[in-house]
Amino acid sequence: MTIQINTSNASPFLPQDWLDSRLDALAKARTMLEQGNGPGGSFTGWVHLPRDYDRTEFDRIQAAAAKIRADSQALVVIGIGGSYLGARAVVELLHSPNYNLIRSTGGPDLYFAGNGLSTDGLLEIIDLVKDRDFSLNVISKSGTTTEPAVAFRILKALLEQKYGKEEARRRIYATTDARRGALKGLADTEGYEEFVVPDAVGGRYSVLTAVGLLPIACAGIDLAALMDGACSAMEALAVPGADNPAWQYAAARHALYQAGKRVEVLAGYEPSFRFFAEWWKQLYGESEGKEHKGLFPASVEFTADLHSMGQYIQQGERLLFETVVRFARSRGRIAIPHDPENVDGLNFLSGKDLEFVSRQAMRGVTLAHVDGGVPNLALTVPGRDARSVGALIYFFEYACGLSGYLLGVNPFDQPGVEAYKNNMYALLGKPGYEARRAELEARL
Ligand code: PA5
């Protein structure tokens, strides 16, 4: 298996049987995922997706990406939650958070809209694209989510004003449900090229569908390698047993939760990992945080955050544990130069690789945190390449499904998200919400 886990720095905080005592429950969870017969089972289409994905749609995605790369200097990706985070996470992890400044990818600049309601944020994107050739990829499984729907209305008007309705139509790509929803209806009526969010795949598990794949392909990332990595992980993680790294991860985090830990901090040492951690937070937060249960997923970037959150991790409330993601290979090397004056006293590092310094820092941090009472789980990924990242995505998705079942919740619904939506509709005056509106206004 490409992704390796080391639980040795968590086990001192756990009973000896933390893994063995969960093997039966994990075997049941595995069956529910593999057969789709557990809670939320109709949303387990992602489990075999890396093997069973629609090849025809896959080819259309690549063709659309080639067109966008040829005719657009910018692509605005409109979506929120699971319809946004995965694509950005993969592009940043495999390229860089500075992707738009890297010309060698040959792809359009990517801007992400519709993931909030900030006027200034949208004005900035409009300003950045209005005088350039651009296209839109609007993504919404339900087709009714307010944030992307509003952003799409505004950006579609801009596109039509710039190119006229006909050419604008050729520059809009809609990723949505195969049959239902307002976006589906609009895309059919207007004749946009459409991509499908499969029925059985929920938003936060959809990065390896057209939801993530079209923007990722536009950024020039090798989709076949990404899917191949995910498929290898799928095959490896389907094998039951105590050696399975997803079983170990799910069991360890469940055991730590039962031992009183309430926060899981995902730590990376790569700036390019920051947005992947945002994707991970949504995956675990939305899948587990219900029925007043679940670990709160947080993230930090080391070593930067050792100079901010590091203090809390070392000495604050003992309610957290860390999961550290390390990439085994860097893409190059930087040797630390010798300074004859040795003004900074660092000549003991002369000629050493920066990678070596980082590795020793990580080892030191791990033990300091463990000594401070913070259990540590360590995941090692071979490198920042498409295959490894495909495997990492699948690893986290699969372990998340197992974790939800160990916790006794449905890992595939998100009923809590509806509460704010209903209040927002009411306060915005959506027809049908009149009574709720009156009630809310009286309270505000
Ligand atoms: O994981 C989920 O299901 C959610 O985060 C959704 O992705 C998010 O609410 C956006 O939904 P939609 O794609 O229907 O606009």
76 CA distance to ligand 1 centroid (A)? 18
Q: Which domain holds residue 361?
A: 4-37+227-407
The predicted pLDDT at position 419 comes to 84
The predicted pLDDT at position 271 comes to 96
The protein residue with its alpha carbon nearest to ligand 1, atom 3, reads 203
Which segments within 365-405 are labelled E, that is strand?
376-381
144 CA distance to ligand 1 centroid (A)? 10
From the number of C-beta atoms within 10 Å of its C-beta (0-12, 13-18, 19+), residue 264 rates as buried
Q: Is 212 in the pocket of ligand 1 (CB under 6 A)?
A: no
Is pLDDT of 335 > 80?
yes
Give the pLDDT band of residue 152 (cuts 50, 70, 90). Answer: very high
Residues 6+ apart with CB under 8 A from 394: 50, 208, 229, 230, 233, 234, 237
Q: Is 86 in the pocket of ligand 1 (CB under 6 A)?
A: no
Q: Do 310 and 346 fall within a single domain?
A: yes
DSSP run (H or E) holding 200: none
Q: Is 148 in the pocket of ligand 1 (CB under 6 A)?
A: yes
Would you say residue 231 lies in a domain? yes
Looking at the CA of residue 142, tell me the nearest atom of ligand 1.
14
ipTM above 0.90, yes or no: yes
146 CA distance to ligand 1 centroid (A)? 11
Give the pLDDT band of residue 421 (cuts 50, 70, 90). Answer: confident
Asked if 171 and 135 touch (Cβ cutoff 8 Å), the reply is yes
Q: Do 211 and 233 fall within a single domain?
A: no
Q: Tell me 132's DSSP state.
A: S
- Helix, strand or coil, per DSSP, at residue 77: strand
Would you say residue 43 lies in a domain? no
Looking at the CA of residue 202, tell me the nearest atom of ligand 1.
3
Q: What confidence tens digit (pLDDT) does each residue in 354-366 have?
A: 999 999 999 999 9
139 CA distance to ligand 1 centroid (A)? 9
Q: Do 380 and 239 fall within a single domain?
A: yes
Q: Is 141 in the pocket of ligand 1 (CB under 6 A)?
A: yes
Angle subtended at Cα 72 by Cα 173 and Cα 272, rounded to the nearest 5 degrees: 85
Structure tokens belonging to residue 213 = 């794949």
Would you say residue 358 lies in a domain? yes
Asked if 396 and 46 touch (Cβ cutoff 8 Å), the reply is no
Residue of 439, 19, 2 lying closest to 243 (CA atoms): 19
Looking at the CA of residue 181, tell me the nearest atom of ligand 1.
14
> What sign does the CA torsion over 9, 15, 16, 19 have?
negative
Q: Do 205 and 250 fall within a single domain?
A: no
306 CA distance to ligand 1 centroid (A)? 33
Looking at the CA of residue 197, tell me the nearest atom of ligand 1.
13
Structure tokens belonging to residue 353 = 């690789």
Q: Do 158 and 256 fall within a single domain?
A: no
Please give the biggest Cα pair distance in the chain.
Answer: 77
Q: Do 216 and 72 fall within a single domain?
A: yes
Residue of 50, 391, 401, 385 lying closest to 233 (CA atoms): 391
- What amino acid positions are annotated as catalytic residues? 286, 421
Q: Which region, left, alpha or beta, applies to residue 175 given φ > 0 means left and ψ of -120 to 50 means alpha?
A: beta
Q: Do 181 and 275 fall within a single domain?
A: no
Q: Tell me 316's DSSP state.
A: S
**Across-strand partners of 76?**
111, 136
CB atoms within 10 A of CB 164: 10
198 CA distance to ligand 1 centroid (A)? 13
Which segments within 235-375 are labelled E, that is strand?
263-268, 296-301, 320-327
Q: Is 204 in the pocket of ligand 1 (CB under 6 A)?
A: yes
Number of domains into which the chain is organized = 2
Phi, psi of 377 (to 5 degrees): -110, 135
* CATH at residue 280: 3.40.50.10490
Q: Is 114 in the pocket of ligand 1 (CB under 6 A)?
A: no
The protein residue with its alpha carbon nearest to ligand 1, atom 9, reads 81
Q: Is 83 in the pocket of ligand 1 (CB under 6 A)?
A: yes
Q: Pick the last residue of a domain from 196, 224, 252.
A: 224
Q: What confidence tens digit (pLDDT) does each residue in 23-50 have?
A: 999 999 999 999 999 999 999 999 999 9
pTM over 0.90: yes
Q: Is 267 in the pocket of ligand 1 (CB under 6 A)?
A: no
The predicted pLDDT at position 418 comes to 81
Q: Is 82 in the pocket of ligand 1 (CB under 6 A)?
A: yes
- Helix, strand or coil, per DSSP, at residue 8: coil
Alpha-carbon span 258 to 138, nearest angstrom: 41
